[in-house]
Structure 1
Amino acid sequence: MSLTQLTNPSMYPTVTPQVLIIGSGPSGLVLALALAQNGIPFRIIEKRSEFHQSQRGSRTQARLLITINSLAAEIKSVTTLSPYVAPTPDVPYPNRAVIGQNLAEGVLRSHLSKLGIEVERSTELVSFKQDENQVTAEILKRGPNNEEVQETTTFDFLVGADGAKGVTRKFMNLTFLGETTETHWVIGDLFVRGLSTDTWHNWRPSEKDMVFVRPTETEELFQTTCRDEITIENIKTLSEYRLNIRMVNKFSEERVFVVGDAAYIHSPAGGQGMNSSIQDSFNLGWKLALVCKKQKLISRDKEDNEESFHRPKFLNQLRVNYRWSCILVDEHAASQESTKNPYGSLDDTELRAGNRAPDSPSLTRIGSPSSDQITLFSIFKPTHHTVLLFNPPACEMGQISARLSAWPAGVVKTVVVLPKGVQDIQVDVSGEVIVLDDKEGHAYNFYIQAEDGRFPVFIVRPDGVIGGIVKGLEGLKTYPDKLFIG
């Protein structure tokens, strides 16, 4: 049965979609991809009959490119925003890039289509109610002649990715506190003749007024942002807004969640909006997938013009971390983080639980008929945790396998990484264990930063974050005890 069939309950009434996604912007599409790759049946609906045609939020940070790649939706052609930084083995996507939001959404939709899934357009959420077992949604579908059909359907979860003006947050009665500034913006895509496409252009006719023009991938089509009044012609898209800085009081209410602009909005100046939204959506996606597979997560919650685009390096989000999270296990760290600094420090190069897991190229799979090299990023996926064992003792491999077999079924992939040049492994690696030769030594260089006599075990979460660094068997029990119940 295809995922198209799974997402069409009218054709296959015995299969009930578990998640309803409201909105098909970047947040909704990334969530859909994460669920699809985990085999979770869902529906994604969009009120509009046509998709966005505007470049809109176009600045992608380095961390976002890693996320997109892990979803098998690689963006291969982009325009760099800042001075070029050469890729390194552990950071293959170090550069911020520019790609129009309409194009990014198109890439994501095309990968959903390859999985047999389409966004249901002209379909909107009318209302919903929930109890401890399910969410009941009233959905309105409009046909090509504006005919209307209303349906009542139940889901395990509902996620509002329907933007700042969407209805999900309002139905949840969440506050959206913040401020509306006096800054007045107009942003659009327009055709301009006789303007160079080699550079970006901006003018400041006064201290308060600004016109900013960026070339796009289409000849003579530019993205324009301006404040106050400006006359333009040959418009493809145009929108007007005042800058808002707002955030919800909470991101979920029982079985209903909000992500992206439905949850928070702020200045586009730092290029964080779409990037943060996608990261949050991806984070929610792998966790929802675990729950939908009946592997419940534990909640511990108690009650000058050019210079203006030279952003601090920490805004690339590569050091965004969860070191302070209560569901991590870090037996290597001297102590738990005393302060919550989610953006991390550029001076802190220590690899800790809660950090992004580095990539490593030039790995060869031992026992495979193919001699092709692979990377760790090609193994990390939103469908499973990855347990990295660096040259484990042969005498403990059986106990390790037994301990991992106690984890919920299907949530872990085991990878043994051998030092470069070591091919004669004396370990029982029967079953699904992947054995890699670190022929260039990159993996050991990035992961093995200190050795205290015990072989290190790294547990990489489905979102590419290190969930655990443990020194042996006991840690392999402690980590799932923190994360799974039932």
Structure 2
Amino acid sequence: MSQPSVLIAGAGPAGLILAFFLRKSDVPVRIIDKERTHRIGSRGAGIMPRTLEMYATLGVLDDILAGAGTMVPTAVYDPGELVPKATVPLITYQEPTPNVPHPNPATLSQDRHEEILRAHLAKLSCTVELGAELRSFEQSADNVVATIIKTGADGTESEETATFEWLVGTDGARSVVRHQLGLSFLGETNKETAMTLGDLPVEGLDPGFWHMWNVGSKLILLRPNDKSGKVFSFMYGGRPEHFANKALTSADFAEEFYKLTGRQDVKFGEATWISNYTENIRMVDTMREGRVFLAGDAAHCHSPSGGQGLNSSVQDAANLGWKLALVHQGLAPSALLDTYAEERLRVIARMLGLTTARSKETIHNVGTKDFKMTSHGDIMRMLTVNYRGSSIISEEPGAVAEQSDAYTEGAGAGGRVQATYRAPDAPELLPAGTQDAPTRLFAVFNPAAHTVLVFGGDPATRGPVITALGRIVPGVARAVLLLGEGEASPSDAAGFAAVLEDRAGHAYKGYGVDSKDLTVVVVRPDGVVGLVSSNAGGVEQYFQRILNAA
């Protein structure tokens, strides 16, 4: 890889996914982390369906699911009882469909999650540089000069000054990048809620459930980390005052557990990590300052309730990644990067509202008559997250262009696919004129290019679309023609990267389009529908919004 153009400070999920998108577009990247070893612990273990869909396109989903568990119900106990008094599903199981093949969340310890992402990133010639801390930076109109402190295996430090075109801070809630930019971190700290979190081996609890005890002002929650069921994460809320300024040990937690629950049948091993936790609900009001960006926890922190944090962070990275790649390649104006905050801040603000409300139902109300344990609801799957009102997205005719709820289901007429929302999947697509195995849209979508799906019409109506695409730089967009079984002819292939027969009808049905009429759906590299149009003019207008003028 040539001299890095982008410095990513912080190698959590946001940093890793950003590096993934950039390397898919051959952008030289350096990703650093101040820790001298990779972090351990489950931390953000929930992986929502929208993230699973993105991982399918990135090619990492199979490895993620191989070790992941499912989001199991919560068993609620009275002290001393072995049988729960109630079980509450955190999220209702949904059957997969052709257009939503991953409707249910998965759970995987974050350290294992990151390990899988690092392994795939290494295949793109990018590895995490440990023991490298961004200490400060200076930016100009042309570059960012970073001061990096590197710590060797023997603990000795050395200073390096390096120049990059762009800097992205994915360095957590205490972000050095955010602090040096002087950005506000608006919100509040909930000092009334005290918690201890950690992971430890557990014997005697069914890994098919989360397990919860709520007694007075105290709450203990234990959940299995993955399908092995050997290690559980715990949350202990309402700690005794003498633990306020120090983390519990494994023995301390076991003692508190036995006092609270009366369950002497449960055995604990040594914790792999334990940490006190204070709930912060904060976000920035901008995610870009010149050549410097923020993503993930550096830009927003919130309650873990609802499992939105890690998922929102990787969606930040996906949104920024393809835009930064186009600008770096000289194909798009710098102004495209302003749409990163334009699209994401609205989503993050809504997400903070949802997770805060969820937290108030549980953590905040422990020991009160208002305490309740309820399911997350379908909204937490993140399949309805949208960028309504974005200045670069062309919404379908008749759609209301102003902003609306960032987590609300689309309202396309007759179930028609709608711009600003996720692009549905469709399996059983046969490459026309070949003996190739069937494919699916999630395998067709490309994190390094727009995918232009062309439905229906005839050669005369499709021709102008291909002509319009021919006027943009090769590699920016890839045209794919979708036809019914037996409808493809050799002449159809001209100008298309692929011609697929939708023999089972999943694509036409899932996108709500008719084979008689031409419909063009432009899918962005982050899996968001950027355009729904019935003509080549819409295609030209869309790419004029995001690319440099020819």
CA contact (8 A) 1:135 1:155 kept: yes
Residues 368 and 450 of structure 1, relative CA distance in 2, 3 Å threshold: closer
Structure 2 portions without partners, runs of 5+: 72-90, 241-251, 255-269, 343-360, 363-370
The 10-residue stretch of structure 1 (68-77 or 259-268) with the greater mean CA deviation from structure 2? 68-77
2-structure distance, mates of 1:376, 1:467: 16
> Partner of 1:117 in structure 2?
126
Displacement of 1:224: 0.4
Once residues 23 and 325 of structure 1 are traced to their aligned partners in structure 2, the CA distance between those partners, rounded to angstroms, is 28
Aligned to 1:238, the other structure's residue is in SS state: strand
Query: Compared with structure 1, are the counterparts of its residues 447 and 216 closer, same or farther at alpha carbon in structure 2 (3 Å cutoff)?
Result: closer
1:277 lines up with 2:313 in the alignment: yes
What secondary structure is seen at the aligned counterpart in 1 of 2:539?
helix
> Which amino acid in 1 is paired with 2:291?
R
User: Which residue type is aligned with residue 547 of structure 2?
Assistant: F
Q: How far apart, CA to CA, are the structure 2 residues paired with 1:229 and 1:476?
A: 58
Q: Residue in 2 aligned with 1:376?
A: 441
Do structure 1's residue 291 and structure 2's residue 280 form an aligned pair? no
- 1:88-127 aligned within 5 A: 88-127=97-136
CA contact (8 A) 1:22 1:28 kept: yes
Is contact 1:385–1:412 with CA below 8 Å preserved after alignment? Answer: yes
Q: CA RMSD in A?
A: 2.2
Q: Give matches, 1:147-296, under 5 Å.
A: 147-181=156-190, 182-206=192-216, 208-217=217-226, 218=228, 220-229=230-239, 231-232=252-253, 234-296=270-332
> Which amino acid is the alignment partner of residue 121 of structure 1?
L
**Residue 214 (structure 1) shift:** 1.1
- Which residue matches 1:391? 456
Tell me the CA shift for residue 216 of structure 1: 2.8
Quick check: 1:363 aligned with 2:353? no
Q: Are the aligned partners of 1:188 and 1:236 in contact in 2 as well (CA < 8 Å)? A: yes
Letter in 2 for 1:73: V
CA distance in 2, matches of 1:267, 1:125: 27
Question: CA offset at residue 165 of structure 1?
Answer: 1.2
Cα deviations by residue, 1:139-179 (Å, 9 ceiling, x for unpaired): 11111112222111111110000000121101111111211
Which residue number corresponds to residue 9 of structure 1?
A: none
Seen in structure 2, the aligned counterparts of structure 1 residues 414 and 353 have a Cα distance that, compared at 3 Å, is same
Aligned to 2:65: 76
Alpha-carbon offset, residue 350 of structure 1: 4.3
Question: In the TM superposition, what is the alpha-carbon distance from 1:431 to its structure 2 partner?
Answer: 5.2
Q: CA deviation at 1:116?
A: 2.7
Equivalent pair of 2:132/2:148 in contact (CA under 8 Å): yes
Whichever residue aligns with residue 311 of structure 2, its letter is N
Q: Note the C-alpha offset of 1:401.
A: 2.2
Greater Cα offset, 337-346 or 272-281: 337-346
Deviation at 1:249, TM superposition (A): 2.2
SS in 1 for 2:272: strand
Partner amino acid for 1:341? D
Q: Secondary structure at the match of 1:421?
A: coil
2:317 is matched by which residue type in structure 1?
A: S
Contact 1:322 1:355 in 2 (8 A): yes
- Is contact 2:145–2:162 with CA below 8 Å preserved after alignment? yes
Partner of 1:65: 52
Q: Deviations over 1:303-328 (max 9, x none)?
A: 99897351121111101111321111
Q: Distance in 2 between matches of 1:104 and 1:420?
A: 40
2:475 matches 1:410: yes
The reply on whether 1:468 has 2:457 as its aligned counterpart is: no
Deviations 1:427-449 (A, max 9, x none): 3x235520011110111112234
8 A Cα contact 2:456 2:517, kept in partner: no
Give the distance between the partners of 1:296 and 1:346, measured in 2 at CA: 29
Residue 3 of structure 1 corresponds to none
Asked if 2 retains the 8 angstrom alpha-carbon contact of 1:314 and 1:346, the reply is no
How has the CA–CA distance of structure 1 residues 278 and 378 changed in structure 2, closer, same or farther, with 3 Å as cutoff?
same
How far apart are 1:346 and its partner, in Å? 7.2
* Structure 1 residue aligned with 2:12: 25
Q: Which residue of 1 aligns with 2:544?
A: 481
Pick one of 145, 152, 166 that aligns with 1:143.
152
Counterpart secondary structure, 2:541: helix
CA distance in structure 2 between the aligned counterparts of 1:115 and 1:138, rounded to whole angstroms:
26
Equivalent residue, structure 1, for 2:501: 437
Q: 1:458 is matched by which residue type in structure 2?
A: V
- In the superposition, the TM-score normalised over structure 1's length comes to 0.91
- Tell me, in whole angstroms, the C-alpha distance in 2 between the residues paired with 1:72 and 1:335: 33
Q: What corresponds to 1:457 in structure 2?
A: 520
Distance in structure 2 (CA, Å) of the matches to 1:62 and 1:158: 29
Secondary structure of 2:474's counterpart equals coil
Check conservation: 1:323, 1:352, Cα contact below 8 A: no
**Match for 2:194: what amino acid?**
H
Equivalent AA in structure 1 for residue 218 of structure 2: D
1:95–1:52 Cα change, 3 Å:
same
Preserved contact between residue 484 and residue 501 of structure 2 (Cα < 8 Å): yes
Contact 1:454 1:472 in 2 (8 A): no
Q: Specify the alignment match of 1:11 in structure 2.
A: none
Structure 1 contact 29–108 (Cα < 8 Å) conserved: yes
Compared CA separation, residues 188 and 393, structure 1 to 2 (3 A): same
Decide whether aligned partners of structure 1 residues 102 and 37 sit closer, same or farther in structure 2, where only a CA change above 3 A counts. same
Secondary structure of 1:284's aligned partner: helix
1:343 maps to amino acid: Y
1:250: Cα distance to partner? 1.1
Residue pair 1:333, 1:352 contacting (<8 A) in 2 also: no
Q: Letter of the 2:206 partner, please give it.
A: S
Report SS of the residue matched to 2:130.
coil
5+ unaligned residues in a row in structure 1: which ranges? 1-5, 7-14
Alpha-carbon shift at residue 255 of structure 1 (Å): 0.6
CA distance in 1, matches of 2:508, 2:410: 21
CA contact (8 A) 2:452 2:523 kept: yes
Pairwise CA distance, 1:84: 2.5
CA distance in 2, matches of 1:203, 1:48: 35
- Spell out structure 1 runs of 4+ moving beyond 6 A: 300-307
The alpha-carbon distance between structure 1 residues 461 and 228, as it changes in their structure 2 partners (threshold 3 A), is same
| Secondary structure of residue in 2 paired with 1:239 | strand
Structure 2 CA distance for aligned equivalents of residues 149 and 124 of structure 1: 11
- CA separation in 2, counterparts of 1:149 and 1:200? 46
Asked if 1 retains the 8 angstrom alpha-carbon contact of 2:388 and 2:402, the reply is: no
Question: Is the 8 Å Cα contact of residues 45 and 225 (structure 2) preserved in structure 1?
Answer: no
1:8-34 C-alpha deviation (Å, 9 max, x unpaired): xxxxxxx32110000010100111111
Give the direction of change, closer, same or farther, for the CA distance of 1:99–1:40 in structure 2 (3 Å limit).
same
Instruction: Point out the structure with the larger helix share.
Output: 2
Structure 2 residue matching 1:120: 3-state secondary structure: strand
Q: In terms of mean alpha carbon deviation, does 284-293 or 109-118 score higher?
A: 109-118
**Distance across 2 between alignment mates of 1:276 and 1:400:** 34
Q: TM-score scaled to structure 2, two decimals?
A: 0.81
Residue identity in the other structure for 2:524: R
Q: CA deviation at 1:345?
A: 2.9
Q: Distance in 2 between matches of 1:250 and 1:129?
A: 19
